[in-house]
């Protein structure tokens, strides 16, 4: 795993010793090139085989950087300099940020440490046509024989509930399905250490349970598991050690039992299960409380008999002949939905149920195969998306699909001057950034913001337009407690000023706290949950 450093360790030899850590790090400081200050300082991590470590931190605390450093995705010397050591399978590499530092071979490191990044799409090789081949990609590169690969793919798919998707194109998976695939790619070679960054984000209840039992099984089998998170998911209560990161430093650590809320050891921005109540701002006592029926007005958004199916991918005639002719799979079937001004509706459903597909019908990015979509009473069938967008604000599931400008301010200001004129546009953009707490970041590059801030920025771009209909796809994902409170306030105040809000979420706690009614999308049909 090392070139230019000390000897190459025998891959599994020393790892058998239960007390010695299989992965450890002592970081005096880590600084990105051209950055004024270190992002990580004074952190020690040590993971013996079969241990379970949770690293908790609010957005921007340096979690993802630490995760990528531990897993070889950010080799010291490449994008930044490390002073300290990294230790893997009994071999310690000392770094002092100078030219004589050892170099990490990411491929060798990757055999020992599996990593699931925060953005699961980053894992995809992009040249593999099916989920099964994507899973096998890492095994192919180690030269495993075909029978071995087939068994491994089959076993991993079963563990993660990917069995029915093995033949699908990875590029067409839903957000939650993609997360499962990324986890599968990380565990399939059986690495002794598994590092996961926000693995629960956008997983449905079944996926969360599957992941929890998967982690338990891996730990029983001797794998050291490290989960980086900004929320205390139920599974993390089973961890042996919690490490708390704040501003790139280790702010505390110990067994979970010692760190309950009230102990003062956890920063308030870290979310607890169903923690919206804990973080809800006391000022948000408004008319839009659950249980209160908003006054009857004509619907701001109405879907009548909407059905939709994706067209089949083009295939050659030979292959087409083998398939049964006719019916393409319908993602939405006869969906009826009416959302009134001031109303907040939450839509839940399993991964891949078509929730994002549903939202994309609201502004015409997708057109129904049959049925009509009415926005403020008029059919949007013939209208270009850009026109409908004046009334419908859509928050995409992945912020990176939404953000494209060079600075935060330009991002929020995009298209506003056409709507309001230049003077008012600047004012609206500023107000929207203020509302999501990003006023100080106006000149930064959106891609360099932490995931939570990216999500909030995307939200600001939607809020700045003051649309009559707000469609939010997984708005709580990647938000820490502070971000969630900002989101909650923003959604409520939008609803109070007359916007109809539809939000898609797996966070049932949030849905119950924020929405007037909850609908479930399953098998293409929408029904009350």
The least CB distance from residue 296 to another protein, in Å, is 29
Task: Give whichever of 140 and 496 is closer to another protein, judged by the CB atom.
Answer: 140
Dihedrals phi, psi of 488, to nearest 5 degrees: -60, -45
CB of 261 to another protein, least distance (A): 35
Q: Report in angstroms how near the CB of residue 284 gets to another protein at its nearest.
A: 27
**CB 517 within 8 Å of CB 345:** yes
* Contact of 65 with 37, CB cutoff 8 Å: no
From the DSSP assignment, how many helices (H) and strands (E) are in the chain?
Answer: 17, 22
Alpha carbon distances (Å) from 367 to 90, 363, 484:
57, 9, 32
Non-local CB neighbours of 509 within 8 Å, separated by 6+ positions: 273, 274, 275, 276, 277
Nearest to 66 by CA among 43, 97, 94, 91: 43
Give the Cα separation of 461 and 396 in Å (integer): 11
Query: Between residues 94 and 405, which has the closer beta carbon with respect to another protein?
Result: 405
Q: How far is the CB of 122 from another protein (least distance, A)?
A: 5
Alpha-carbon gap, residue 512 to 510, rounded angstroms: 5
Closest contact distance (angstroms) between CB of 172 and another protein is: 11
Is residue 173 a contact partner of residue 165, using CB atoms and an 8 Å limit? yes
**Token representation of residue 326:** 């006719």
User: In the complex, what is the shortest distance from the CB of residue 117 to another protein, in angstroms, rounded to a whole number?
Assistant: 7
Q: Give me the least distance between CB of 266 and another protein, in Å please.
A: 30
Residues paired with 57 in a beta bridge: 245
Q: Among all chains, which residue has been given the structure tokens 């990216």?
A: 454
CA 61 to chain centre: 17
> Would you report the helix, strand and coil content of the chain in percent, each value rounded to 5?
35, 25, 40
Q: Which is nearer to another protein, 122 or 205 (CB)?
A: 122
Give the Cβ contact number of residue 485 at 10 Å: 21
Q: Phi/psi at 413 (nearest 5 deg)?
A: -80, -10
Short-list 127, 176, 132, CA closest to 156? 132
Closer of 104 and 235 to another protein (Cβ): 104
Closer by beta carbon to another protein, 152 or else 244: 152
Q: How far is the CB of 163 from another protein (least distance, A)?
A: 16
Q: Alpha-carbon distance 395 to 348, whole Å?
A: 16
In the complex with another protein, the residue whose CB is nearer, 175 or 253, is: 175
Q: Toward another protein, which CB reaches closer, 252 or 364?
A: 364
Q: Report the chain's C-alpha Rg in angstroms.
A: 24
Question: Which lies closer to another protein via its Cβ, residue 123 or residue 519?
Answer: 123
- Which one, 11 or 130, has the nearer CB to another protein? 130
Full strand arrangement of the beta sheet holding 301-308: 332-339, 301-308, 370-375, 378-379
User: Closer CB to another protein, residue 115 or residue 510?
Assistant: 115
Q: Fill in the DSSP letter of residue 290.
A: T
Nearer to another protein, 69 or 246 (CB): 69
* Shortest distance, position 331 Cβ to another protein, whole Å: 17
Q: Are 54 and 259 in contact (CB under 8 A)?
A: no
Between residues 143 and 291, which has the closer beta carbon with respect to another protein?
143
- Contacts of residue 310, defined as CB under 8 A and 6 or more positions apart, other chains included, come to 172, 328, 329, 331, 357
We find the least distance from the C-beta atom of residue 494 to another protein, in angstroms, to be: 16
Q: How far is the CB of 368 from another protein (least distance, A)?
A: 17
Alpha-carbon gap, residue 519 to 334, rounded angstroms: 15
To another protein, the closest distance from the beta carbon of 287 in angstroms equals 29
Beta-carbon neighbour count of residue 154 at 10 Å?
Answer: 14
Dist CA 474 CA 505 (whole Å): 5
CB 131 → another protein: shortest distance, Å?
11
Nearer to another protein, 251 or 365 (CB): 365
């Amino acid at each position: 795993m090392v070139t230019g450093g000390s000897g190459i360790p025998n891959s599994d030899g020393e790892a058998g010793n239960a007390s010695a850590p299989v992965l450890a790090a002592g970081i005096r400081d880590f600084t990105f090139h051209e950055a004024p200050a270190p992002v990580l300082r004074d952190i020690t991590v040590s993971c013996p085989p079969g241990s379970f470590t949770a690293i908790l931190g609010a957005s921007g605390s340096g979690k993802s950087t630490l995760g990528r450093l531990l897993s070889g995705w950010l080799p010291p010397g490449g994008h930044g300099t490390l002073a300290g050591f990294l230790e893997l399978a009994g071999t310690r590499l000392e770094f002092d940020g100078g030219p004589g530092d050892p170099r990490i071979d990411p491929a060798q490191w990757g055999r020992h440490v599996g990593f699931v990044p925060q953005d699961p799409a980053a894992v995809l090789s992009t040249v593999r046509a099916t989920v099964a081949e994507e899973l096998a990609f890492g095994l192919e590169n180690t030269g495993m024989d075909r029978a071995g690969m087939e068994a491994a793919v089959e076993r991993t798919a079963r563990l993660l509930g990917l069995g029915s998707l093995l033949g699908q194109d990875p590029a067409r998976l839903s957000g939650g399905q993609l997360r499962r695939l990324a986890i599968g790619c990380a565990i399939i070679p059986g690495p002794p250490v598994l590092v996961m960054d926000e693995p629960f984000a956008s997983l449905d209840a079944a996926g969360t349970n599957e992941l929890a039992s998967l982690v338990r099984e891996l730990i029983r089998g001797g794998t050291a598991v490290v989960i980086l998170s900004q929320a205390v998911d139920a599974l993390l209560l089973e961890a042996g050690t919690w490490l708390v990161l704040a501003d790139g430093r280790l702010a505390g650590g110990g067994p979970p039992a010692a760190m309950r809320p009230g102990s003062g050891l956890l920063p308030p921005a870290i979310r607890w299960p169903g923690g919206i109540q804990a973080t809800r701002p006391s000022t948000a006592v408004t008319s839009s409380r659950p249980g209160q029926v908003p006054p009857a007005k004509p619907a701001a958004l109405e879907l009548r008999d909407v059905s939709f199916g994706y067209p089949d991918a083009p295939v050659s005639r030979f292959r087409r002949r083998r398939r049964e002719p006719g019916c393409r799979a319908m993602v939405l079937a006869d969906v009826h939905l009416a959302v009134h001004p001031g109303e907040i509706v939450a839509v839940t459903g399993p991964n891949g149920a078509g929730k994002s597909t549903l939202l994309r019908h609201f502004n015409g990015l997708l057109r129904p195969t049959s049925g009509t979509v009415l926005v403020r009473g008029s059919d949007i069938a013939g209208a270009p998306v850009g026109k409908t967008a004046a009334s419908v604000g859509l928050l995409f599931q992945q912020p990176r699909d939404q953000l494209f400008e060079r600075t935060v301010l330009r991002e929020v200001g995009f298209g506003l001057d056409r709507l309001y004129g230049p003077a008012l546009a600047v004012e609206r953009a500023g107000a929207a950034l203020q509302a999501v707490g990003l006023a100080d970041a106006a000149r930064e590059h959106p891609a360099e913001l932490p995931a939570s801030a990216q999500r909030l920025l995307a939200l600001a771009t939607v809020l700045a337009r003051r649309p009559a209909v707000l469609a939010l796809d997984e708005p709580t994902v990647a938000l820490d407690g502070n971000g969630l409170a900002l989101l909650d306030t923003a959604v409520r105040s939008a609803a109070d000023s007359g916007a109809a809000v539809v939000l898609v979420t797996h966070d049932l706690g949030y849905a119950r706290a924020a929405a007037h009614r909850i609908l479930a999308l399953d098998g293409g049909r929408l029904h009350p949950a």
